[in-house]
C-alpha cells in the first residue's frame, strides 16, 4: 500500500521552504494591504487586534511561521536562527497578552539578520526602543512581563495568526491598516489585479474631487437588489 507524506510526517522544525520570488516581492511592495485584501476577495486580513507599534511601519515579505505555547518564545529563537533576509516572522502566540514574546534584544537581532518584520498574535514589549529602531513590529498590544524559554513548538508549519491561515512562504504585507496574507501561488495573478484596482480607485477619487462623479454609479442598483428601492426607483 502506497502512503503519502502528511504534515504529521514533518519534523517540528522545518528548515527550509519555498519563498515568494524577489521580483514578485518588489512588485507587491508597491501596494497597500487593503488593495491585496480586496483583490483576494476581501479576505486574508488579520484581526485588528494585531496592530503596528509604529503606524508608519510598512513591510512585505515571505512568511516564516512559528507556533508557540502561550508565554513561551523558545521556538521564535529557533525561527530566527533559520531566518533569511526579507523573511517575515509570523507567530501564533494564541493571542496571549499575559507577557511579551519579543522585545528590543530580539528585534535588534532580527534587524541584523535582515528580517523584514515580525507579526505576533501575542504581546511585545520595549515599544519605544523598537519604534526608534524603525523595525516593523505588529503585536497584540504590549506587556512588560518577559516570557519563558522552555516549551517546544513548531517552525514552518501552517499556523493560525489573527484568524488567518498562514503557510510558510505565503506573502505577508503590512502597513498602518494591519496585516494581509496572500497564498504564495496567488501572488503573481493578484499583482495584475492590484494594479487595476489602484487605477480604478484613483479614477473614482478624481471623479469625486472634480464633482463629476460624487455618488457611486452602482448605488441605485445595489439598493434595488437589497429591496430598499423598488425596481426602476432611484434616490
Over the stretch 149-195, which tens digit does the pLDDT of each residue have? 999 999 999 999 999 999 999 999 999 999 999 999 999 999 999 99
Over the stretch 6-41, which tens digit does the pLDDT of each residue have? 556 789 999 999 999 999 999 999 999 999 999 999
Residues of the chain with CATH 3.50.30.40: 9-187
CA–CA separation, 86 vs 60, rounded Å?
Answer: 8
Q: Which helix (H) or strand (E) holds 36?
A: helix 33-39
pLDDT at 10 (0 to 100):
86
CA–CA separation, 99 vs 131, rounded Å?
Answer: 19
pLDDT at 84 (0 to 100):
97
Identify the CA nearest to 138 among candidates 56, 59, 51: 51
Domain 9-187: which topology?
Glucose Oxidase; domain 1 (3.50.30)
pLDDT at 134 (0 to 100):
97
Q: Which helix (H) or strand (E) holds 110?
A: helix 104-113
Q: Which helix (H) or strand (E) holds 193?
A: helix 187-210
Question: What's 212's DSSP letter?
Answer: S
Sequence-distant (6+) residues with CB within 8 A of 54 are 130, 131, 134, 136, 137
- Joined together, the cell numbers standing for residue 136 give 516593523
**Is the predicted pLDDT of residue 1 greater than 70, yes or no?**
no
**Is the predicted pLDDT of residue 3 greater than 60, yes or no?**
no
Over the stretch 65-94, which tens digit does the pLDDT of each residue have? 999 999 999 999 999 999 999 999 999 999
Over the stretch 104-137, which tens digit does the pLDDT of each residue have? 999 999 999 999 999 999 999 999 999 999 999 9
Q: How far apart are the first and last CA of the chain?
A: 67
pLDDT at 48 (0 to 100):
96
**Is the predicted pLDDT of residue 144 greater than 70, yes or no?**
yes
Three-state SS for 134-161 is: CCCEEECCECCCCCECCCCCEECCCEEE
Specify whether the CB–CB gap between 43 and 37 falls below 8 A: yes
pLDDT at 2 (0 to 100):
40
- Cα–chain-centroid distance for residue 175? 9
Amino acid at each position: 500500500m502506497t502512503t503519502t507524506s502528511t504534515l504529521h510526517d514533518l519534523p517540528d522544525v522545518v528548515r527550509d521552504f519555498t519563498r515568494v520570488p524577489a521580483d514578485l516581492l518588489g512588485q507587491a511592495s508597491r501596494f497597500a494591504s487593503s488593495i491585496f485584501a480586496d483583490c483576494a476577495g476581501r479576505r486574508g486580513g488579520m484581526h485588528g487586534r494585531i496592530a503596528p507599534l509604529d503606524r508608519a511601519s510598512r513591510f512585505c515579505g515571505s512568511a516564516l511561521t512559528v507556533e508557540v505555547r502561550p508565554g513561551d518564545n523558545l521556538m521564535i529563537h529557533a525561527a530566527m536562527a533559520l531566518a533569511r533576509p526579507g523573511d517575515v516572522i509570523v507567530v501564533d502566540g494564541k493571542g496571549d497578552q499575559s507577557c511579551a514574546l519579543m522585545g528590543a534584544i530580539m528585534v535588534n537581532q532580527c534587524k541584523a539578520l535582515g528580517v523584514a518584520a515580525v507579526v505576533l498574535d501575542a504581546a511585545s514589549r520595549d515599544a519605544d526602543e523598537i519604534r526608534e529602531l524603525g523595525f516593523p513590529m505588529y503585536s497584540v498590544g504590549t506587556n512588560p512581563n518577559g516570557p519563558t524559554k522552555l516549551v517546544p513548538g513548531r517552525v514552518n508549519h501552517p499556523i493560525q495568526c489573527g484568524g488567518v491561515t498562514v503557510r510558510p512562504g505565503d506573502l505577508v504585507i503590512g502597513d498602518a491598516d494591519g496585516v494581509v496574507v496572500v497564498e504564495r501561488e496567488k501572488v503573481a495573478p493578484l499583482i495584475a489585479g492590484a494594479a487595476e484596482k489602484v487605477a480604478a480607485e484613483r479614477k473614482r477619487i478624481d471623479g469625486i474631487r472634480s464633482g463629476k462623479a460624487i455618488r457611486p454609479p452602482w448605488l441605485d442598483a445595489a439598493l434595488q437588489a437589497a429591496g430598499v428601492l423598488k425596481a426602476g426607483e432611484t434616490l
